């Protein structure tokens, strides 16, 4: 009896799926692919903007201050990509250890490559030559700080 019922249920589901699939195909044929792409892009753009944290190390001949570095990174980003992208990327220096020369930059996830590119372009901070090396990108500040702590312990050892 149970097997019979299950067989009926499976058959009904299969017929239903077949019909839904056919309807979907008809619908996709009716709507042009350009429109689908447009809708998908709109959906993508309306997704929540997430934060990312990039852990970086600074190699410099002299020590560099937190404010100066943040200003220089922002200026470089602005020069390359403009004011609108700078505002959208919302770049800020969340953490900077002047002894270890390691810091964390917060930004919006869709600007990952733009931020990386602009960090590569930063070559000096107030007449001090610098090289910014990206170490890791994390999804939370806690993980970024944990990475720095682990690195600090590794250096001490």
Residue 126 is a binding residue for other proteins (CB under 8 A) = no
Q: Which of 122, 138, 141, 147 binds other proteins (CB under 8 A)?
A: 122
Which residue lies nearer to other proteins by CB, 117 or 141? 117
Which of 120, 122, 116, 129 lies closest to 64, judged by CA?
129
Minimum distance between the CB of residue 125 and other proteins, rounded to whole angstroms? 9
State the minimum distance, in angstroms, from the CB of residue 20 to other proteins. 37
For residue 98, report the phi and psi dihedrals to the nearest 5 degrees. -75, -20
Contacts of 115 (CB under 8 A, 6+ apart): 54, 77, 89, 91, 105, 107
Question: Among residue numbers 81 through 110, which ones bind other proteins (CB under 8 A)?
Answer: none
84: Cβ–Cβ under 8 A, 6 or more apart, which residues?
Answer: none
Looking at residues 45 to 84 of the shown chain, list those that interact with other proteins (rule: CB under 8 A).
59-61, 72, 75-76, 79-80
For the bound state, the minimum distance from the C-beta of residue 4 to other proteins, rounded and expressed in Å, comes to 55
3 state SS of 98: coil
- Give the Cα separation of 61 and 59 in Å (integer): 7
- By CB under 8 A, tell whether 116 contacts other proteins: yes
Under the rule (CB under 8 A), what is the footprint of other proteins? 59-61, 72, 75-76, 79-80, 112-114, 116-117, 119-124, 129-134
């Amino acid at each position: 009896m149970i097997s019979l019922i299950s067989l009926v249920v499976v058959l009904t589901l299969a017929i239903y799926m077949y019909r839904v699939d056919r309807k979907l195909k008809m619908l996709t044929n009716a709507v042009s692919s350009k429109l689908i792409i447009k809708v998908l892009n709109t959906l993508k753009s309306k997704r929540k903007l997430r934060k990312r944290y990039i852990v970086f190390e600074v190699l410099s001949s002299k020590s560099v201050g937190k404010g100066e570095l943040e200003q220089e990174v922002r200026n470089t980003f602005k020069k390359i990509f403009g004011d609108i992208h700078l505002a959208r990327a919302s770049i800020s220096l969340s953490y900077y250890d002047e002894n270890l020369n390691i810091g964390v930059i917060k930004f919006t996830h869709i600007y990952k490559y733009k931020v990386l590119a602009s960090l590569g372009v930063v070559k000096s901070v107030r007449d001090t030559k610098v090289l910014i090396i990206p170490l890791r990108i994390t999804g939370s500040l806690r993980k970024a700080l944990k990475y720095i702590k682990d690195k600090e312990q590794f250096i001490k050892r």
